[in-house]
Amino acid sequence: MLYTLVMMVCLTDVPQTCEQREQMVDGLAMNPGTAFMQAQPLVAHWMETHPGYFVQRWRVLPGRGT
């Protein structure tokens, strides 16, 4: 199922500087709770590949696109 991973990310050095990032994700489970668990490694990977940022909060929204 198609979801949008929505993350509020902030700069580590300036934590009050935040922005919303959205990423389309396909192949997650139909069940939103299961999809949330499946998306956790995607959030972890984003953090690993974006040093200098931290994820303040995140969620998955079904069938959304920007």
Report pTM.
Answer: 0.87
Gap between the Cα atoms of 10 and 57, Å rounded: 10
- φ and ψ at residue 58, rounded to 5 degrees: -155, 165
- Are 64 and 28 contacting, i.e. CB atoms less than 8 angstroms apart? no
Helices marked H in 1-66: 32-49
pLDDT by 10-residue block (mean), the chain, 66 residues: 95 97 93 93 97 97 72
Per-residue pLDDT at 56: 98
